[in-house]
């Protein structure tokens, strides 16, 4: 990105297309919204799977052996981590809007650290679930919601590190920091996705269907 000066105002232009970066920013914003829509459909597919299997309790095999459901606290700690990271990034966006580059560096660094810690926490949770992924529908659905969160977090980690690095080398300015806002938008969506996952996994454990259908095994 570079700047050219006209008689009345400074227009920041894309080095590759020559368009004003405000134009490319609008385009990128729509692109991110569409990515969120697509990712939301995938997330909804996972949530539908969880809720559907929970409500059906096929062959009374929803719950893991001995009803060893996952503890609630780790889910909410991960939600807290993602929300904190997103809040830090928005704080950085706000600072950059006022021209404070150091605030964005600090915010993105803080955000990266929080996301990294949360990501490690997610891996720890995955490896310490009191059941294996093979132990029933609850175990499978919970594992995949957690895996989905881990994938989201790894993408967010890449983005926050990139923002920190690009801010550090001076690629964002007060007039040209749309990428930061887009990353913050994406992180906000990830908060929603992780929150929805936490809500279903912590509030829908024992299936309400005590008269569960028996479908046979399809193995004969």
Partner 1 sequence: MSTDVILTTDIHEQMGVPQPRQRGKAGGFLRHTNVLTGSALGIILSVVTYAIGSKLVPWGTQNEDYSQVGLNALVGATYVAWVIGFMIGIGAFAGPVRWMMGHDITHDDSEYLAGKGQGKWKYWKYTTDHKVVGLQYLVMALVLLGFGGFFAMLIRTELGVTWSEVFDPNFYNSIVGTHGIVMIIAMIIVIAGPLGNFIMPLMIGARDMAFPRLNALSFWLLFAAVPPLLSNLLLGGIRDGWTVYQPLGTQAPIGMIGYQICIITFAFSTGIAGVNLITTIVTMRARGMTWNRVPIFVIGILAAAIMGLVWFPMFQYSQVLAFSDKVVGSSFFIPQEGGSVWLYENLFWLLGHPEVYVILVPAMAGLLELMVVFLRKPLFSYKVAVAGIAGIVGLSSVVWVHHMYLTGWAPSAGYPFMLSTELISIPFGFLVLVMLGTMWRGKVWSRLPMMTVYAVLWCNIIGGITGVYLSDVPVDQYMHGSMFVVAHFHFMLMGVGLFGAIGTITYWFPKMTGKMLNERIGSIGFWVAFFGFQVTFGSMFIAGLQGQPRRVLQFDNAFEISNWISTIGAYTIGVGMLIFLYAIITSWRIGTIAPANPWGSKTLEWQTETPVPLDNFPVLPVVTSDPYGYGVPDPYDAIERKMTDENVKVGA
Give the tokens for residue 73: 């606290």
Candidates 5, 7, 8, 41; binder of partner 1 (CB under 8 A) is 41
Q: Does residue number 30 form part of the binding site for partner 1 (CB under 8 A)?
A: yes
For residue 200, which of 42, 13, 72, 17 has the smallest C-alpha distance? 72
Task: Dump the DSSP string for 68-127.
Answer: -PPPSHHHHHHHHHHHHHHHHHHHHHHHHHTT-HHHHHHHHHHHHHHHHHHHHHHHHHHH
The contact pattern for partner 1, residues 175-214, with x = CB under 8 A and - = no contact, is ----------------------------------------
Candidates 97, 106, 144, 205; binder of partner 1 (CB under 8 A) is 144
Q: Does residue number 35 form part of the binding site for partner 1 (CB under 8 A)?
A: yes
Exposed, middle or buried: residue 127 (CB in 10 Å: 0-12, 13-18, 19+)? exposed
Q: The dihedral of CA 190, 193, 195, 197: what is its sign?
A: negative
Q: Does residue number 76 form part of the binding site for partner 1 (CB under 8 A)?
A: no
176 Rama sector, left if φ>0, alpha if ψ -120 to 50, beta otherwise: beta
Candidates 69, 143, 186, 189; binder of partner 1 (CB under 8 A) is 143
Q: Does residue number 19 form part of the binding site for partner 1 (CB under 8 A)?
A: yes
- Residue 13 beta carbon to partner 1: minimum distance, rounded to whole angstroms: 5
Q: Does residue number 133 form part of the binding site for partner 1 (CB under 8 A)?
A: yes
Positions touching partner 1 (CB under 8 A) are: 1-4, 13-20, 23, 26-27, 30-31, 34-35, 37-39, 41-42, 45-46, 48-49, 52-53, 56-62, 133-134, 136-141, 143-144, 158, 161-162, 165-166, 168-169, 171, 215-219
């Amino acid at each position: 990105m570079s700047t050219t000066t006209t008689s009345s105002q400074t227009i920041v232009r894309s080095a590759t297309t020559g368009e004003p970066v405000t134009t490319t920013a609008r385009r990128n914003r729509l692109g991110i919204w569409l990515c969120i829509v697509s990712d939301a459909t995938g997330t909804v597919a996972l949530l539908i799977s969880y809720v559907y299997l929970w409500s059906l309790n096929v062959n009374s095999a929803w719950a893991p052996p001995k009803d060893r459901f996952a503890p609630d606290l780790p889910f909410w700690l991960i939600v807290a981590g993602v929300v904190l990271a997103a809040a830090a990034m928005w704080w950085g966006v706000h600072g950059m809007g006022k021209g404070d580059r150091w605030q964005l560096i600090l915010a993105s660094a803080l955000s990266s650290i929080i996301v990294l810690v949360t990501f490690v926490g997610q891996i720890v949770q995955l490896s310490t679930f009191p059941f294996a992924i093979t132990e029933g529908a609850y175990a499978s659905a919970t594992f995949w919601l957690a895996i989905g969160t881990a994938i989201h977090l790894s993408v967010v980690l890449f983005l926050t590190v990139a923002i920190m690095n690009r801010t550090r080398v001076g690629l964002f300015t007060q007039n040209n920091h749309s990428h930061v806002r887009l990353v913050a938008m994406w992180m906000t969506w990830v908060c929603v996705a992780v929150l929805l996952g936490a809500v279903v996994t912590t509030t829908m454990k024992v299936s309400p269907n005590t008269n569960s259908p028996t479908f046979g095994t399809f193995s004969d």
